[in-house]
Amino acid sequence: MKFKMKQAGSFFLIFLFIGIFSAPGIGAASEPVIIGIPHWEKYSYATMMKNSFEMALKVINEAGGIKGRPLKLVYADDQGKRDAGEKIVKELVKRAGAVMMVGGYASSNTVYTARMANKLDIPFLVCTAADDRITQRKWRNVYRMNPPASEYTKGLEDFFLHNIKPKSMAILYENSPYGTGSALRMMWFCREHDIEIRKIIPYHKERAHTEAVGSAYFQRLIAPLKDEPPDVIYMVSYLKDAALLVKKIRALKINALLCGGAGGFTHPKMIKMAGDAVNNLLTATLWFNKLCLSSTAYCSRYVEKYSIKPDYHGAEAYSALLVAADALNRTESFRSKDIRAALDKTDLKTPFGPVRFKSYGIFQRQNSLPTMVLQINQGQFVCVWPENLATSKFTPPRFWRESD
């Protein structure tokens, strides 16, 4: 009987020991801390962002990981769709054991993945999706590092007012939440500054699923601009559509200054895909590697490893994981309320820029950064605005120079 009692007591202590170390917020030193990454494999920036996450992961773990434990990333393909996105959030939290999530690419479904994360009480640091609504909702678990879509064009707006002062504009955009939000902000800008809007042209990205189909589809949409070209054509698209639109506009010899609203227009492959047609194009951007000293090491390592320069999407991913690791190393436990408390106190310089989450205007738990303007000049991106950060002067399009 005594033996049985001792045996029972030993088992009780073992189960108590296991229970303590499997309780929320506590774990064995060898047990990894898991961050879930919603990942859309077919997204044009998926490879760049995953590469950047993995680079940051290596830096974090070589520096000691999270409270002495290794950090582990678990990826799940959200397919850029609402239902798939909501499903993978549940899987990352309930099956993979993620203590928080980082990522969020496409605005069209990140609204729903963010809502699900909030419902499951799991902190979610969004680093790319720009839909304004993401940080307008009272979702206490949702933080965003990149600016909302309505702020992407601020630098471009200032450039217009201080430089070319356009009198007319056409606005061409994909009808996604990201495209619509950015286009709406530009429409308001035009109305506020008495710029004639010649055309407003939304397009269905699904209609341009191949280059042959997309070429014919875009030609029908932009052909009316040939008769009375605006001073500026402002476009909001991802990489494939952006390159195709630029080539088609130039093929139709529509003499307008081409401007992009970030997105695909900043991708390093844009220059190769659009060729000479992309010369003198302007684009809004959230980041330029030559303007951020803390980005030098990240950029150099990325180019050395992948033989291509990253744009702001890569810097966002790399920096977001650093921000998450910083918060997890400061949190009292891995319970959501403690992780949120750590994120609330974030004040970190990253390759993407300074990161602090605050509430302003209609936004909550939102980082705020200025935007810049790049121009493609002789096959290279150069910064032309703001003046104090410019690496080159604005070069007007050839047809403007010839008309002078």
Q: For the chain, what is the domain count?
A: 2
Pair 326, 397 in one domain: no
In a domain, 8, yes or no: no
In a domain, 13, yes or no: no
Q: What's the confidence (pLDDT) of residue 291? A: 60
Pair 259, 391 in one domain: yes
In a domain, 382, yes or no: yes
Q: What is the pLDDT of residues 171-187, one digit of tens each?
A: 999 998 888 989 999 99
Burial letters 372-401, b for 16+ CB under 10 A, else e: bbbbbbeeebbbbbbeebbeeebbebeeee
Pair 241, 351 in one domain: no
Distance CA(345)–CA(396), nearest Å, equals: 44
Q: What is the pLDDT of residues 336-363, one digit of tens each?
A: 999 999 999 999 999 999 999 999 999 9
Domain that holds residue 239: 151-285+371-403
Pair 299, 234 in one domain: no
Q: What's the confidence (pLDDT) of residue 12? A: 35
**pTM of this structure:** 0.82
Q: What's the confidence (pLDDT) of residue 404? A: 52
Distance CA(302)–CA(310), nearest Å, equals: 7
More confident residue, 199 or 2: 199
Q: What is the pLDDT of residues 283-329, one digit of tens each?
A: 999 988 766 555 778 988 999 999 988 989 999 999 999 999 999 99
In a domain, 327, yes or no: yes
Q: What's the confidence (pLDDT) of residue 341? A: 98
Q: What's the confidence (pLDDT) of residue 19? A: 39
Pair 235, 255 in one domain: yes
CATH number at residue 269: 3.40.50.2300
Pair 345, 214 in one domain: no
Which residues have a Cβ under 8 Å from the Cβ of 43 and sit 6 or more positions away? Answer: 49, 80, 105, 106
Q: What is the pLDDT of residues 149-175, one digit of tens each?
A: 888 889 999 999 999 899 999 999 999
Q: Side by side, which strands form the sheet with 142-144?
A: 71-76, 33-38, 100-103, 124-126, 142-144, 363-366, 358-360
Burial class (CB in 10 A: 0-12, 13-18, 19+), 259: buried
Which of 93-97, 104-108, 229-233, 291-295 shows the lowest mean pLDDT across its residues?
291-295
Structure tokens at 93: 């939290």
Pair 392, 251 in one domain: yes
Q: What's the confidence (pLDDT) of residue 336? A: 98
Pair 102, 133 in one domain: yes
Percent of the residues in the chain that have a pLDDT greater than 70, as a whole number: 89
Q: What is the pLDDT of residues 257-295, one digit of tens each?
A: 999 999 899 988 899 999 999 999 999 999 887 665 557
Q: What's the confidence (pLDDT) of residue 106? A: 84
Pair 256, 398 in one domain: yes
Distance CA(374)–CA(155), nearest Å, equals: 10
Helix (H, G, I), strand (E, B) or coil at 70: coil
Q: What's the confidence (pLDDT) of residue 45? A: 85
Burial class (CB in 10 A: 0-12, 13-18, 19+), 108: buried
Q: What is the mean pLDDT of the chain?
A: 88
| Residues 126 and 142 sit within 8 Å (Cβ to Cβ) | yes
In a domain, 9, yes or no: no
Look up residue 182 and give its amino acid: S
Percent of the residues in the chain that have a pLDDT greater than 90, as a whole number: 69
In a domain, 17, yes or no: no
Q: What is the pLDDT of residues 36-55, one digit of tens each?
A: 999 888 777 889 999 999 99
Q: What's the confidence (pLDDT) of residue 209? A: 66
Pair 216, 176 in one domain: yes
Pair 200, 214 in one domain: yes
Element (H, E) at 241: helix 239-251
Q: Is the pLDDT of residue 11 over 60?
A: no
pLDDT band for position 401 (cuts 50, 70, 90) = low
Q: What is the pLDDT of residues 222-231, one digit of tens each?
A: 999 999 999 9
Q: How far apart are the first and last CA of the chain?
A: 105
Q: What's the confidence (pLDDT) of residue 42? A: 78
Q: What DSSP string describes 246-279? A: HHHHHHTT---EEEE-SGGGG-THHHHHHGGGGT
Q: What's the confidence (pLDDT) of residue 17? A: 38
Pair 358, 383 in one domain: no
